Amino acid sequence: MDIYNNEWQNLSDAAIIESLGSFIKHHRLEQNITQSDLAHKANINRSTLSEFERGTRVNMITFIQLLRALDLLHTLEAFTVQKQISPLELAKKSKDRRQRASKSSDQVEEPGVDW
């Protein structure tokens, strides 16, 4: 099932689940792995994998196990929450940033020493 980014909103929950199963099946076949081998690698039953690929039995733990077994955990990076800094905060931080270094207390010259 080929889905473009702007179509996800229009899909039913069942269609999204079916897409997850198709995603796993596509990558399994692309890597030339049998259902039995992938199920063993993911530590799940082959029947569970079969049901997942058909979209009839989907569990997030199973999905993560399958992504890990297929070396596709990086696809979850889209869910990473990153703190956004407002332009005003960024300007304040850059204003407070050091402009030059000062001598440390170890480097202070002692008076009266002439060389």
Q: Within a domain: residue 35?
A: yes
Alpha helix (H) residue ranges in the chain: 13-30, 35-42, 46-54, 60-69, 87-96
For residues 82 and 108, the model is more confident at 82
- Give the integer Cα–Cα distance in Å for 65 and 112: 72
Q: Within a domain: residue 100?
A: no
Confidence of residue 1 (pLDDT cuts 50, 70, 90): very low
Supply the pLDDT for residue 53.
95
Supply the pLDDT for residue 3.
53
The tokens for 58 are: 């989907």
Q: Within a domain: residue 37?
A: yes
Supply the pLDDT for residue 115.
62
Answer yes or no: are the C-beta atoms of 53 and 21 closer than 8 Å. yes
Q: Within a domain: residue 62?
A: yes
CATH number at residue 52: 1.10.260.40
Q: Within a domain: residue 99?
A: no
- Give the integer Cα–Cα distance in Å for 111 and 105: 14
Read off the pTM: 0.66
Q: Within a domain: residue 88?
A: no
Residue 57 belongs to domain spanning: 26-76
Answer yes or no: are the C-beta atoms of 28 and 37 closer than 8 Å. no
Q: What is the pLDDT of residues 11-70, one digit of tens each?
A: 888 999 999 999 999 999 999 999 999 999 999 999 999 999 999 988 899 999 999 999
Supply the pLDDT for residue 60.
93
- Give the integer Cα–Cα distance in Å for 4 and 16: 12
Q: Within a domain: residue 64?
A: yes
